Structure 1
Amino acid sequence: MRILIIHNHYKQVGGEDTVFFAEAALLEKHGHEVEKFAFSNNNVVSALDKVQAALGVVYNPKSARLIRDKMQEFKPDVVHVHNFFPLVSPAVFSVCQQLGVPVVMTLHNYRLVCPSALLFYKGKVQTENINQVFPVKAILNKVYRESAFQTASVVLATGVHKLLGTWRNKIDRFIVLTPGAAALFQNSSLRPKPGQLVVKPNFTEDLGTGASQRNNYFLFVGRLTPEKGVETLLKAHQLKPFPLKIIGDGPLADKVAAYAAKHAEVEYLGFQKRDRVVQELKQAKALIFPSEWHETFGMTIVEAFSTATPAIAAEIGGAAHLVQERYNGLLYAPGQAAMLAEKVQQLQQDEALANTLAIGARASYEQHYTPQANYDLLINIYQEVISAKKAKAHL
């Protein structure tokens, strides 16, 4: 099978980039011909670049030409888009339709139904935009990069293509990462067709089972931002102190560092490379995942499961589906520091429970999140859209 994978990189490397490279490598490993075609926001530097990018979000003719040329050269059986915003633009879907090539898109975030992409702004979860074709209030609230102009460009791009039927008629399958995300998109202004949404989680390589006897500390890994629940984590620690290591960087780094300096049980490690993160996961009693927005997945949780490390997570978004209470982790109400502190204490005091959760965590990984399990799901999606496109062409 010949697969063209298209992605628009952000300036800061994120989870979407990781999945883009990981899925491409997975497909290549199974003998498929894979072509990666990437655009990068690092090329948007000057004021003119930014204006041109904003103006091209509805349809970028330059990107359309580049994609058409690449498709005519490579002749893919299927195109998989991970991110089209802003440089690729929805032009990619028109080109695919014109050339008769089926197209799959992974919904890594909520941008198609809310310009914030996170459903989180002004310090809390916001879902008021998901049923509106043109959420004007979002522009007034400057929900994207605190800019009315940039928010308006997202609203225009997504709204125009809702009216044109692009999302319903030019994309053969939307891949969503959890059943919760599927339900949200199904009941939104996106209005997907029956069967257009399919659930396929992300995966991770087998990181290896961690130590059977764990060190008595808990671990947070992630960006230090309000929506990640970092402040709730610190409040929980203040209520009932426990050994804690924090890995990550971001706007709240100074606050975390200052807290760690005053509390001997807290160790702030800053940003760490993957090898160190894995090393810490293999020794930790549990991963704490306090995220307070509707994460489309929860990659760190799956990585923890691979090492037989359970997770204590806020019951919202991807974590609510990845973590099963008292099987592979513990759940608490988002933002509730006292509940989080109680869950930590529960795991500290019950060694039998900790062992049970560790076994469940590893079992969850082996059943759902291995490369092979993911490949089987992904290739089945490709085969379905290719067969459907061929059948339609013969009508």
Structure 2
Amino acid sequence: MRLIVVNDVSEALGGATKVALQCIEAGVAAGLDCSVLVGDDGAGIRLRFPGVQVEALGERPLRDGVRFANLFDRNFNGRAYRALRRLLKSGSDTVVHVHGWSQILSPSIFHALERSDAKVIVTAHDFFLSCPNGAYAHFGKGDICEEKPLTAGCLASACDKRNYLHKLWRFGRSMTQSAAGEVFWGRVGVILAHEAMEPYLSTGSLRNFLTLRTPSTPLTRFPVEAWKNERAMFLGRMTVEKGVRTLAEALNVTGKAATLIGQGPLLQEIQHTLPHCHVPGWLDDGEVTAVAAKARYFFMPSRMPEPYGLVAAEALMSGIPVIASSNALIAREIEENQAGLVFQSGNARSLAEKMVLMENDDLVRRLSEGAFAYGKRIAPSRDEWHQRMVDIYAGRIKFSIRDVMTGAVGRPGHPEFGMASRI
């Protein structure tokens, strides 16, 4: 069996790339013939997996700055299309596992895959498979967008976090993506990071789903006695959708100090807004561990339907309670397992009220113990996840079929997707 892993970048600065690297690791350990297509220079993969073939475009992601040419090549990247076509020509019995494509590779990769007989799997790290802005969020209103993707209502909605012209561009890119065809999308297997993602992704041509939660590594080596600590923490990208403005407002309302770790377009704004907090930008793993060991609780203030929240799971596994936004798909189980508190998404006063509750040592101790207990079973171990991923590639674990359309599944050369749900 041949495995091709596809991802925008090779450096693990986000959850999607971490998972892509783990897929390569699983494939290599299982003895699969592994190749990788990345949009950047591929250095992160070449360093970690010297025996893996890497096809790298050497381009920059959109978040590093937009050039005029990106209006066209991030809608349909011809270099990415040709590179993937070359990789697909060099063998049969091929599985292609796609992770990120919205920053560099573009929907062109799906048009390359549509012309092949490869078995195609996509891990949904966000909602770009269906939603033009990838978040099901109306950034102007600060709420979840209720419009059905790619309808007239969606086209008219000024939901983008930049401006309406950018929304129109993203709408066009989604149309390019959709143009790979219903037959193609009907045979794509979609791996969900959380089972609650499926209703957001099953409104179009996608039919085949299964949930495989991503293995997590605790932020600390030993359980944190959170009730003995004073300072809260945030770890993630400094962007509107991650809710850092809501967090900043709540921190100013309460006057509480916290450590906010992460890069992003709002970093300088947050540094200026929170002079009483420590906002260092990105820190290395050792420094993050040191901060987490002294954390009283962890913030997950997402404004969008956060698909899973890998870093929140890492906090829970360390015994750090999480204050989660009601928009986070993991919020309900955090509350049900007494592993943290939930506030109303986008409501700084609601978040501030939860922060005040966390001044109670007895409550924090109960939630800390609940977080650690739940963290033990929130996701499979790394070894279990590796084996399950290889079993998915080999067809031993099947995808569930939702509203199968004639001809959408079982294209010649493909193992048919069978019935199953969550693993």
Name the TM-score, length of structure 2 as normaliser: 0.76
Cα distance between partner residues in 2 of 1:43 and 1:231: 24
SS at match of 2:69: helix
Distance in structure 1 (CA, Å) of the matches to 2:66 and 2:351: 45
2:375 aligned to 360, 365, 382, which one? 365
Letter in 2 for 1:367: R
Q: Provide the rounded CA distance (Å) in 1 between the counterparts of 2:210 and 2:311.
A: 22
Q: Residue 78 in 1 paired to residue 95 in 2?
A: yes
Give CA deviations for 1:338-362 in whole Å, capped at 9, x if unaligned: 33233223332142x3333223323
- Shift of the alpha carbon at 1:215? 1.9
Backbone CA RMSD of aligned residues: 3.5
Report 1:284-303 matches (<5 A).
284-303=295-314
One-letter code aligned to 2:364: A
Paired residue for 1:154, among 170, 178, 184? Answer: 170
Whether the 8 Å contact between 1:120 and 1:227 is mirrored in structure 2 is no
Distance 1:360 1:46, change over 3 A: closer
Contact 1:293 1:317 (C-alpha < 8 Å) held by counterparts? yes
> What count of residue pairs does the alignment treat as equivalent?
381
Give the residue type in structure 2 aligned to 1:22.
Q
Name 1:20's counterpart in structure 2.
Answer: 20
Q: Name the structure 2 match of 1:205.
A: 217
Asked if 2 retains the 8 angstrom alpha-carbon contact of 1:247 and 1:272, the reply is: yes
The one-letter code matched in structure 2 to 1:2 is R
Measured after TM superposition, the shift of residue 324 of structure 1 is 3.0
Please tell me whether the aligned partners of residues 219 and 246 of structure 1 are also in contact (alpha carbons under 8 angstroms).
yes
- Aligned counterparts, 1:1-395, within 5 A: 1-9=1-9, 13-40=13-40, 41-42=59-60, 49-54=69-74, 57=76, 62-73=79-90, 75=92, 77-85=94-102, 88-118=105-135, 119-133=137-151, 135-138=154-157, 141=158, 143=160, 145-146=162-163, 148=165, 151-159=167-175, 161-162=177-178, 165-166=181-182, 169=185, 171-186=187-202, 188=203, 190-193=204-207, 196-207=208-219, 208-212=221-225, 214-261=228-275, 263=276, 266-321=277-332, 323-325=334-336, 327-351=338-362, 353-369=363-379, 370-384=381-395
- Call closer, same or farther: CA 1:172–1:336 in 2, change over 3 Å: same
SS in 1 for 2:270: helix
**What amino acid is aligned across from residue 73 of structure 2 in structure 1?**
A
Letter in 1 for 2:212: K
With normalisation by structure 1, the TM-score equals: 0.81
Question: Which structure shows the bigger proportion of residues in helix conformation?
Answer: 1
Compute the displacement of 1:102 (Å): 0.7
Offset at 1:325? 4.0
Shift of the alpha carbon at 1:321? 4.9
Q: Distance in 2 between matches of 1:172 and 1:147?
A: 31
1:394–1:299 CA distance, 2 compared to 1 (3 A):
closer
Tell me, in whole angstroms, the C-alpha distance in 1 between the residues paired with 2:161 and 2:303. 18
Q: Are the equivalent residues in 1 in contact too, given 2:325–2:343 (CA < 8 A)?
A: yes
CA, structure 1 residues 144+290, in 2 after alignment: closer, same or farther (shift >3 Å)?
closer
* Seq. identity, %: 20
**Distance of 1:92 and 1:328 partners within structure 2:** 40
SS at match of 1:368: coil
Name the SS of the counterpart of 1:130 in structure 2. Answer: coil
- Structure 1's 161 and 206: CA in aligned 2 closer, same or farther, altered over 3 A? closer
Q: CA deviation at 1:103?
A: 0.5
Q: 1:167 to 1:116 in 2, by over 3 A?
A: farther
Q: Per-residue CA shift, 1:308-341, capped at 9, x if unaligned?
A: 2121111113342552345221112112333323
Shift of 1:91: 4.4
Contact 2:132/2:149 (8 A) holds in 1:
no
Distance 1:226 1:48 in 2: 24
Structure 1 residue 80, shift from structure 2 partner? 0.3
Determine if contact 1:94/1:170 at 8 Å carries over to the other structure: no
